[in-house]
Structure 1
Amino acid sequence: MLEIFSSFPPNLLMFLAAVLFIAGCVRGFAGFGAGMIFMPIATSVMLPSTAAASFLFIDGIVALPLVIRALRLCDWPTVLPAAIGAVICVHFGAWLLASTDVLVLRWSIFAIVTGLLLLLISGWRYNGKATWPVSLGVGAVAGVLGGISQVSGPPVVAFWLSSAREPAIVRANLIVFFALSSVGTFFAYILNGFFTLQVFHLLIMAIPVYALAIYAGSKGFSKANPNLYRKLAYVLIALAALTSMPALDPLFR
């Protein structure tokens, strides 16, 4: 067993477990946001590709119970085209992760996420019909960001929150979207060789911790005030922007 964890010192494993627990609670409550919390911290102690592949595997396995419940609530006419756009474009994001300067990618992500947050704070609402082309485009942007950093939430969160849909519908849309889009991400990461032995070593610790956290977060959502959901979504998008900003590396890394 000690050999299994040889890639990760005990103090690092405990630290990552604490981060994963917080991320899982947020994921269970909001339906998104775990990658925004885990990825910036994880990439400070391991390769970005290792962190992204680990989180994809962890979240894909543990979040399945959330997906089953969300299938009945989600708005399929908007979720399906967004998922198709993400599945197609995640390959481009994974290619960028493997071949592009990390600093350029991080500044690009910061600019996109910040722009989306400012739109939401301004009170802007998308009042048009969520047509297939619009949903496909939103999903494509999310797919590229997901392939690069596993932070694909902000585009689809901004899109669905701007429609003023009920928090339960928005949450269900996000859960199903991430489940469908992760299929494309798995294939993209396999093709790029991101699933290393170190990734599977980390899963032994991560899966039970993350599962417990998602359960706790989902219980919290069922008892929370609906107005809290939108506020938490704004905070998580802001967190994604701040933690991806290279200029703040001395604080976060």
Structure 2
Amino acid sequence: MHGIFRLRHVIATIALALAPTPAFAIDEALLPRNLSPWGMFLSADIIVKTVMVGLAIASLVTWTVWLAKTVELRRKGSLALQRTRALEGNMTLAEASVRASDARDAVAQLIQSCAKEAELSGGILDDGLQERVALRLERVEAAVSRQIARGTGVLATIGAIAPFVGLFGTVWGIMNSFIGISESHTTSLAVVAPGIAEALLATALGLVAAIPAVVIYNHLVRGIANYRALLGDASAQLMLLVSRQRDHREFRLARAAE
């Protein structure tokens, strides 16, 4: 009887040794040591690394543009509002021109352009002068608007293409995962997991670069629209100044005050 039990034990041991390993078993030796974002970046191949670096640079550009344009809009908007309020007072075109003679801000350019056209017209105020002044002011507004909007196009581009760049990194990482499965002839998660993790990291970086770019772009567009509205108010005030000086004699005196 003792021999029978011993024989059964030997047979069970041999069967256990010959049994196939479950497909979900993970060889701990194959697992990556570092699954942090930095570790996954270091273990990624050159293509995925390039995608991640590009997305990081795009994110840096986004925040740089936001900081620069926010400071610029606040500074120029405050100065434009100050000069526009000054035009609302009892001021002639000649006085406004003298005050803005040494300045290069947007409203100062509007004032100088208006005064230049009045000077070229020989001091004659009529409907033709008002039309020419309106045309000059429109051109200055367009030039200043293009200048203040510089850099925002980069944000629109980043917001549009960053998700697709991240998706490219994802596809490339998953493709490498399947290549690793084929070469290792195993379906172990230790082979599949690192490539998938790298792919998902590329997707995450794409979203991190794209979402702030879109939000900041919309914010700057609203700020630029407000700034353009201030320029429109300044142009309207200048047109009112020209209209008030329709009296030829009054304009002559204003020119003499220069």
- Provide the TM-score with structure 1 as the length reference: 0.30
Higher Cα Rg, which structure: 2
- Provide the TM-score with structure 2 as the length reference: 0.29
Larger RCO (CA within 8 A; separation ≥ 6): 1
